[in-house]
A = this chain, B = another copy of it.
Amino acid sequence: MRPIGVFDSGIGGLTVARAVADRMTGSPLLYFGDTAHLPYGEKSPVLIRHYASRISHHLRDQGCRAIVVACNSASSNALDAVRDAVGPDIPVVDVVQPVVAHLADRWPGGRIGVIGTRATIESGLYQRLMAAKGLEAMARATPLLASAIEEGFHQGAVSEALLEAYLGDGGFDDVDALVLGCTHYPLIADQIARHLPPHVHVVNSPDLVAEAVASLFPEEVKADAAAEHRFLVSDWTDSFALGARRFFGESIRLEASDLWRS
């Protein structure tokens, strides 16, 4: 079976890969983490498009039957470049549109908060898509949060101080829901929820994205045995290898790709 391609700037997108693997049992994944260039969240739209396009070409050339852009910064800034790269025959799923569709269903006319990297928030994509569906958006960049989680600072004083700095002004107190607009944030969803009033729902994107991927292949039946996945990274370090377990939920073997040196 041809694999489903999933890519991210690093290993955070493994939270999305995990959800897709759980939903599409039996389908192999080909994951590409662009650790040579991470994080995308501080980089310019032009550069993010350049990286995303090259990776998408590569995944297409590896025979992928669909592409999941498992990175909010890339979904917000480079979706057109990804579609151009893979052509009309390979469906592309991003991590923004399935979430906004869900929000509009669940909280019609509601007020929705979104936090993410600077590249994600400054692109304005969440804000535009929500406005088009009659939702009111309250968006804020929380740039250091992903790095803090990647470094293992969760559930402690550092992430508490960060969440206080980013959410402590009560800016999200009157929203119906808060979207975790970065693949790293689900790891501290509970801690984020504690910084919000009880009525605010925290929206977990990976499951919604996995549902969107599954809807592309309605005929596919669940397999009994788990498929063999492959996980490529453009720069291999011990630290990424160790961190991968935290995001995928089990030990996996990261392979070094030489995409950027070929």
Contacts and interface: CB of A to CB of B under 8 A. Distances in A.
Contacts of A235: 43-44, 47
Nearest to A166: B158
A153 interface: yes
A190 interface: no
A158 B161 contact: yes
Contacts of A239: 42, 118
B151 A161 contact: no
A225 interface: no
A237 B161 contact: no
A158 to B, nearest CB: 5
A50 B262 CA distance: 13
Interface in A181-214: none
Interface string A154-181: 0011101110110000000000000000
Contact of A144 (B36, B50, B151): B151
22 contacts: A35-B43, A36-B43, A36-B47, A37-B37, A42-B239, A43-B235, A43-B237, A44-B235, A44-B236, A47-B235, A50-B261, A118-B239, A143-B151, A144-B147, A144-B148, A153-B165, A156-B161, A156-B165, A157-B161, A157-B164, A158-B165, A161-B161
